[in-house]
Amino acid sequence: MKKYVLGVGLGITLMALSLVGCGLASQTAEQSGKEAKGAAGSNGGNGKEASADGKVELEFFNCKVEGEAVFNKVIEKFEEEHSNVVIKQTAPADAETVLFTRVSTGDVPDIMSVYPAETAYHTMMDDGVYTELTGEEWLHRASDSALQFSTWNGKIYAMPFALNSFGIYCNRTMFKEAGLELPATWSELMDVCEAFQAKGITPFTFVDKDPGYLAQEGERIVGIIKNDVYIDTETVGTTDASFNDADKPYFKELAQALLKTREYAGDTLSYGIEQCVADFANGKIPMFVAITAKYTVIQQNNPDLDFTLIPYPSPVSDDYKIPINVDIAYGVSSKTPHQEEAKAFIEFLSRPEIYQMVADEEGTPPVIEGVNYTIEPLKGIKEVIDSGNTFLTMVNFWPSGWRSEWSVYVQQLISDKNTDNFLKETDRICKEKYAAQ
């Protein structure tokens, strides 16, 4: 079996990246109570196993573990139309770690999740892991912007289905009972925090026990502070510049924002995702900072909750954009002997009437034309995404492993509140990661 050589040190980097990947699959799986089923090789990727009746059997490796149930419904419908194909979905806990490990050993699933704007996946594209899809007519069912985000070196290797974003989940009932409006600026957010606190209500909950969540939050917020801060990270990484320099205050402003919001929360370093979701969903805490993908687990905890996701306001300006990333996209292994069948499944999934099933249940804002978005708590964010008042998250520009190593120091900042050390370590990571490219 061929093993992929994914660049110097990238095998280690891929493992590290998986801890703070775009979908944060391991934490979602923890919330869903899933076990690590479908571990490496369980379904025999690349069509290595045939079903007993001679049908083509394909493995569909899905990092969107919170959507496993609805994707099984899609698979059932696909198999009704394609009676010669059996699709086996693999959606393990810690999905991205499992996927990266399998790719590094050449055990590549036939169809798999791809985050096409991110650096690690670009390397796998360059190394021939995926089949090029550029000429497929059904690609144009996705929006032009999503296709642009999914293009690497002029080619497309994954069909995009949905974009995620980031913000503050707000319990509408608690806001109404407190006589408060949803905040639209940083000063309004601070006023809301003060008002809740004056009523004896802890305003915020954060998943600070997990450095992956913290790094994701920090990466999103520093991008909100400066949408193209990746230019500054590259400058610091390749010159003598520092984030202590007066003309590069962005990570210092990030540190101040993170520490300020923690003044309105409890012992956040002891909070994991399950507790945070439960506290928010059950009306104990009015605000929870998270990505759009957390809609599903919140709704599952309390189907009757009246809540919404609002943009995270910039700590330094009243004029700001929201971060986005390609959150659901699928590609085909270049090594599967069943190219036609694997592409047929992606084409089937991209039909508006089929992807409507996923959008209605999984919740991530879709990019497939003709799909109606019915998730009320996320409609506001979807409108901002559709308006184009967005920027691509920093993880898509930073070198491989940057955010995963940085996560340790974001958590340390929350613990010791030492901004100087945080900036020193951010500088160090910049210089080391860019030097290693």
pLDDT attached to residue 51: 55
Position 13 confidence tier, pLDDT thresholds 50, 70, 90:
very low
In terms of pLDDT, which residue wins out, 90 or 8?
90
Taking the mean position of all CA atoms in its chain, how far away is CA 383?
19
Angle at 79 between CA 144 and CA 114, to 5 degrees: 35
Higher-scoring residue by pLDDT: 96, 84? 84
Give the pLDDT of residue 10.
Answer: 45
CA 307, CA 310: separation in Å to the nearest integer? 10
The yes-or-no verdict on residue 8 having pLDDT over 80 is no
In this prediction, residue 19 carries a pLDDT of 39
**150 three-state secondary structure:** coil
Percent of the chain residues topping a pLDDT of 90? 82
Mean pLDDT value of segment 361-367: 92
Answer for the pair 55, 49: CB distance below 8 angstroms, yes or no.
Answer: no
Nearest-angstrom CA–CA distance, 355 and 374 = 13
User: What is the pLDDT at residue 120?
Assistant: 87
Tell me, what's the pLDDT at 67?
A: 87
pLDDT category of residue 293 using cuts at 50, 70 and 90: confident
Q: Is the dihedral of CA 142, 148, 150, 156 positive or negative?
A: positive
Residues 159 and 332 sit within 8 Å (Cβ to Cβ): no
Closest to 38 in 3D by CA, of 58, 59, 22, 54: 59
Residue 325, pLDDT above cutoff 50: yes
Mean pLDDT of the chain: 89
Average pLDDT over residues 156-169: 97
Q: How many CB atoms lie within 10 A of CB 37?
A: 12
Percent of the chain with pLDDT over 70: 88
Distance CA 212, CA 22 (A): 10
Q: Pick from 172, 248, 216, 135: which is nearest to 407 by CA?
A: 216
Please give the pLDDT value at position 437.
Answer: 83
Tell me which residue has tokens 């520490």.
259
**pLDDT > 70? residue 267:** yes
Question: Where is pLDDT greater, at 195 or 46?
Answer: 195
pLDDT by residue (tens digit) across 24-75? 433 333 333 333 333 333 344 554 555 557 899 999 999 998 889 999 999 9
**Residue 322's pLDDT is what?**
96
Question: Residue 393 pairs with which residues in a beta bridge?
Answer: none
What are the pLDDT digits (tens) for 86-129? 999 999 988 888 999 999 999 999 999 999 999 889 999 999 99
More confident of the two residues 437 and 101: 101
